[in-house]
C-alpha cells in the first residue's frame, strides 16, 4: 500500500523463512527487512508471526505494466481463518520505487482492533517493516501529519526498537508520509500511502489473537513490533474487493 | 521527495498547479511552525519584541544562512491574534 521511493537504485529481495518476507535495499545495501504481515478479521488478529495467517500456496511472481510502467509483481494469497487476504509487491523497472498492495477479495468484517480514534495501530499490516534498520544503520526521519500535513509534523533520530509507539513517526489516523535518510544524507527512502488516504495509515501491528476491541476502547491492544501501513485501527469492515494499493 | 511527488502525480494523472507557493520554498507561520505563538519564548529573550520583529529576524537569518525563501505565509491567527 505505501509507495517506496529511493534516491538510489531500490531493490526488493525475497526473504527466507516466513512467506512474504522481503528486504529493502538501496544500491544493494540493506536498509530494512520485513516484519510480520497480519490482518484482523472477525475480532481476531491473524499473523505470519505465529502462522495463524496461513499462506495458501507459494508466492507467485509475474511481470506486468500499469500507468507507472513495467513491473515485477510478487503476490501471496493468505487465509485469515475463512477470509482470503492477498498481499502483493510491485517493483518497477524504472527503479526507485515499489508499490505494496493488500486486497480483501471477499471483503472483511470485524476488522477493528480498537474503537479508539487515533490509536497508533493498524488492523492490517502490509508491508510489515521491522523497525530496526538492517546492520544497525543509523537513520533519521521527517514525518508529515496532522492538519494540513503541518501541525503534527516532526523529525528526529529513527528509534529502531520494538516500542509500541514505533520509531518516532506519527501513527494512526493522523499519520502521513515520512522520509527516512542515512547519516551521510546521500539516500532517502519515502514511505507513503498511495490510495485510500483517509483509512490507509502508518501504524504498529497488533499481536496475534483476540483483537481486544471493545466499545469503550478501554482494553488497548499491544503491538507485536512491526511497523506497517494498513487499515486504521477503528475501521470495522471492508467492502468486497477493496484494494489498498500503494 | 521530488521523485515521490512525481510518482504520485503520475499515478493519479495530475499535474502540479502553477502557483508561486508550490513552486518555491516559503516560510509558514501557521500552526505547527516553529514561530507559531512561540516566537518570543523560543528565541533568545529580548531578541524580538513583536511579530514584525520576529519576521524581520526570520529574514535576517534566511539571508545569513542562504535559505532561498520566496514567500512568507501570514496566517490569519497571527494578524488578528491577541498576543
Please report, for chain B, the start and end positions of each structural domain, with discontinuous segments joined by +: 24-77
Interface check for B11 against chain A (CB to CB < 8 A): the answer is yes
Rounded CA-CA distance B70/A23 in Å is 41
From chain B, pick out residues whose CB is under 8 angstroms from the CB of A151: 30-32
A4-13, A198-207, B64-73: least confidently modelled range = A4-13
Across the interface, which of A7, A68, A148 has its CB nearest the CB of B10? A68
pLDDT at position A3, please? 56
pLDDT at position A105, please? 93
Q: Domain coordinates of chain A in residue numbers? A: 2-238
Chain A residues within 8 A (CB-CB) of chain B?
A: 3, 5, 7, 67-68, 96-97, 146-148, 150-153, 177, 179, 188, 190, 192, 194
pLDDT at position A174, please? 78
Mean pLDDT comparison of A42-56, A83-97, A113-127, highest-scoring range:
A42-56
Identify the three-state secondary structure at position A102: strand
Interface check for B13 against chain A (CB to CB < 8 A): the answer is yes
Residue from B3, B5, B7, B36 whose CB has the most chain A CBs within 10 Å, to mutate: B7
**Beta strand spans in B1-83 (E):** 26-28, 71-73
Across the interface, which of B11, B30, B32 has its CB nearest the CB of A67? B11
A149-153, A185-189, B7-11, B59-63: least confidently modelled range = A149-153
pLDDT at position B39, please? 58
Long-range contacts of B56-63 (CB under 8 A, 24+ apart): B58/B27, B62/B27
pLDDT digits (tens, 9 = 90+) for A82-109: 999 999 999 898 878 889 999 999 999 9
Output the pTM of the full model.
Answer: 0.83
pLDDT at residue A241 greater than cutoff 90: no
Residues 32-51, chain B, touching A (beta carbon < 8 A): 32-33
Rounded CA-CA distance A113/A123 in Å is 6
pLDDT at position A191, please? 93
pLDDT digits (tens, 9 = 90+) for A196-209: 888 899 999 888 88
Across the interface, which of B1, B13, B32 has its CB nearest the CB of A150? B32
Rounded CA-CA distance B27/A172 in Å is 28
Rounded CA-CA distance A5/A148 in Å is 22
DSSP letter string, A40-69: EETTEEEETTTT-EEE-S--EEEEEEETTE
pLDDT at residue A126 greater than cutoff 50: yes
Greater confidence (A136 vs B80) lies with A136
pLDDT at residue A143 greater than cutoff 80: yes
Rounded CA-CA distance B8/B16 in Å is 11
- Confidence class of residue A180 from pLDDT cuts 50, 70 and 90? very high
Interface check for B71 against chain A (CB to CB < 8 A): the answer is no
> Whose grid coordinates read 495458501?
A56
Query: ipTM of this model?
Result: 0.82
pLDDT at position A2, please? 52
Interface check for B3 against chain A (CB to CB < 8 A): the answer is yes
Shortest Cα–Cα distance, A167 to chain B (Å): 20
Mean pLDDT comparison of B4-18, B29-43, B49-63, highest-scoring range:
B4-18
Amino acid at each position: 500500500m505505501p509507495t517506496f521511493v529511493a534516491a538510489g537504485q531500490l531493490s526488493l529481495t525475497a526473504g527466507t523463512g516466513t512467506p512474504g518476507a522481503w528486504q529493502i535495499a538501496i544500491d544493494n545495501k540493506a536498509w530494512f527487512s520485513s516484519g510480520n504481515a497480519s490482518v484482523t478479521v472477525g475480532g481476531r488478529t491473524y499473523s505470519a508471526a505465529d502462522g495463524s495467517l496461513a499462506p495458501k500456496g507459494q508466492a507467485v511472481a509475474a511481470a506486468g505494466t500499469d500507468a507507472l510502467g513495467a513491473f515485477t509483481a510478487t503476490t501471496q494469497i493468505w487465509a485469515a481463518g475463512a477470509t482470503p487476504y492477498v498481499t502483493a509487491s510491485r517493483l518497477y523497472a524504472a527503479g526507485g520505487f515499489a508499490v505494496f498492495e493488500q486486497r480483501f477479495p471477499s471483503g472483511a468484517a470485524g476488522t477493528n482492533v480498537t474503537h479508539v480514534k487515533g490509536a497508533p495501530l493498524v488492523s492490517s499490516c502490509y508491508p510489515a517493516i521491522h523497525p530496526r534498520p538492517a546492520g544497525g544503520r543509523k537513520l533519521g526521519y521527517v514525518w508529515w501529519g496532522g492538519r494540513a500535513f503541518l501541525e503534527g509534523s516532526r523529525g528526529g533520530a529513527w528509534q529502531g526498537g520494538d516500542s509500541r509507539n514505533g520509531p518516532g513517526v506519527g501513527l494512526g489516523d493522523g499519520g502521513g508520509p515520512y522520509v527516512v535518510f542515512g547519516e551521510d544524507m546521500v539516500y532517502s527512502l519515502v514511505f507513503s500511502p498511495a490510495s485510500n488516504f483517509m483509512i490507509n495509515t502508518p501504524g504498529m501491528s497488533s499481536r496475534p489473537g483476540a483483537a481486544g476491541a471493545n466499545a469503550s476502547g478501554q482494553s488497548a491492544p499491544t503491538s507485536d513490533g512491526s511497523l506497517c501501513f494498513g487499515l486504521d485501527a477503528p475501521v470495522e469492515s471492508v467492502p468486497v474487493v477493496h484494494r489498498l494499493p500503494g | 521527495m521530488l521523485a515521490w511527488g512525481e510518482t504520485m502525480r503520475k499515478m493519479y494523472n495530475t499535474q502540479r498547479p502553477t502557483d508561486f507557493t508550490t513552486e518555491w520554498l516559503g516560510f509558514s507561520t501557521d500552526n505547527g511552525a516553529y514561530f507559531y505563538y512561540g516566537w518570543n519564548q523560543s528565541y533568545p529573550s529580548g531578541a524580538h519584541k513583536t511579530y514584525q520583529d520576529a519576521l524581520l529576524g526570520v529574514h535576517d537569518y534566511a539571508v545569513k544562512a542562504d535559505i532561498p525563501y520566496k514567500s512568507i505565509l501570514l496566517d490569519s491567527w497571527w494578524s488578528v491574534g491577541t498576543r
